[in-house]
Amino acid sequence: MSERTWFELDNAATIYPYSSNRQWICGYRIGFVLEEDVDPVVLKQAVKDIMPRFPSYFVQLRYGYFWPYLEKTNEMPIIEEEHLHPILPTPRWYTDVPALKIIYYKRRLCIEAFHGIADGGATIEVLKTLTAHYLRLKGYEIPKSELVMEIDEEPAPEETIDCFKKVYDKKNKGMSRKETKSYQHVVKPVPNYNRLFEGLVPVQDIKEYCKPRNITITEFLAGVFLYSLYKCAPEDNKKPIKISVPVSLRPVFGLKSMRNFSLFTNIGGYYSQHENLTVDKVIESIKGDIKEGTTKEILEKNVAMNVSTAINPIVRILPNGLKKPVLKIGYRNGQQKYACTLSNLGVVRMPPEMKEHINRMEVFLGGPRNCFGIAVNSIDDKLNICFNVASKQTDVVRTFYKTLASLGMRVHVERSDWEGNV
């Protein structure tokens, strides 16, 4: 197989170069907190060794006449010790600097990635491979496992192609883009500022709430998030409060994409301040909505809507200069349909020999336009609920964690400049 030197942006990624700017970055951070401090010399060797295994990751963003694209680079990505606020918007997405960054600080080993490369579900696999190889170089015995991709494997074709186009069926009628605008929780952003909050909760505590009510953990967290936004909204708000929940298409279509292969469903409703709603009522109001919005039939229609727009001959021949303002407007209109995103990356699985060297995993969404985002993951019995806040106004974050505590859950909160219990 001839070596590819460039990759067209996948269908989900086409919007990201146009929507990013110096105040807002379409990116994220995924990392492990290890049981010992990171050795930067060993880390650099580990990164160098895994680069051939993930060709679509070690790339630079380029702008062609019609579309941006990703060009493969043999240069090492940025590998540096943390010295700034995390996931800050920087010019690196618009220069010749690789669009992926490796950050370490004491026991933390993180990947910061431009969303145009891949979604979080794929990047977790890269982080697992990097960490496993790093631990092997450190002298630890980490056996081969189907739970971790190996660096001596040849990348499968479906890992680097646009899987949206692979599953696209032109016979499918696309979904309508019409949707009511959501309430927006407006706060004042602070330039070059991000604060990270992590809420660690025993999974069993959440399961004890969810099981008798026949709801999923994602439904529960989405309900608490909506309730927190509702409690912090002004009394005169008359708009629905909605959040966006991404769903991976990999298990739905049986493809192992290592790029973007996710879609979103927006859930929520009208929550009047005069009703004095409880968190239980808000959670009950969205029961089943995520499942209903992510059936294979609905997802196929969403894929058809997005792909058919991108391959439209008129859209394709528009030069970049004309596409940019149109896509920026489209992106902003789409974001007005929800207040925030809740991304649940689920349980991260790995061999026990590797897991014993990892304390926990962290996932942070990059500086959103509304100044905060929430991402969730778990390893074993601890659920880590992570907020990235680009404002000093933290009312929704505090309401969220305090609501969990009010439901009888043991919540330990850590933040980038403080530790304590709610």
Residue 98 has which token pair?
């690789």
Q: Which residues contact 236 (CB under 8 A, 6 or more apart)?
A: none
- What's the CA gap between 422 and 401, in Å, rounded? 7
Q: Is the pTM of this model over 0.85?
A: yes
Task: Let me know how long the chain is.
Answer: 422
Pick from 325, 309, 337: nearest CA to 175: 309
Q: Which residues contact 401 (CB under 8 A, 6 or more apart)?
A: 197, 199, 385, 411, 413, 422
* Beta pairing, strands 78-81 & 100-105: parallel
Share of the chain above pLDDT 90, in %: 65
Residues in the chain with pLDDT values less than 70:
1-2, 20-25, 88-97, 174-175, 367-371, 417-422
pLDDT at 61: 87
Beta bridge partners, 63, equal: 68
Query: What is the per-residue pLDDT across 92-117, written as a single tens digit (0 to 9) for each?
Result: 444 566 788 999 999 999 999 989 99
Query: What is the per-residue pLDDT across 22-49, written as a single tens digit (0 to 9) for each?
Result: 656 688 999 999 999 999 999 999 999 9
> DSSP string of 276-320?
---HHHHHHHTTTHHHHHT-HHHHHHHHHHHHHHHT-HHHHHS-H
- The amino acid occupying position 44 is K
pLDDT at 88: 67
Is the torsion defined by CA of 317, 320, 321, 322 positive or negative? positive
* Beta pairing, strands 68-72 & 6-8: antiparallel
pLDDT at 418: 44
Pick from 77, 107, 108, 86: nearest CA to 29: 86
- What's the CA gap between 115 and 383, in Å, rounded? 24
Residue 320 has which token pair?
């970049």
Burial 323-361 (b: 16+ CB within 10 A, else e): bbeebeeebeebbebbbbbbbbbeebebbeebeebbbbb
Burial class (CB in 10 A: 0-12, 13-18, 19+), 165: middle
* Beta pairing, strands 358-365 & 340-347: unpaired
Residue 169 has which token pair?
């069926």
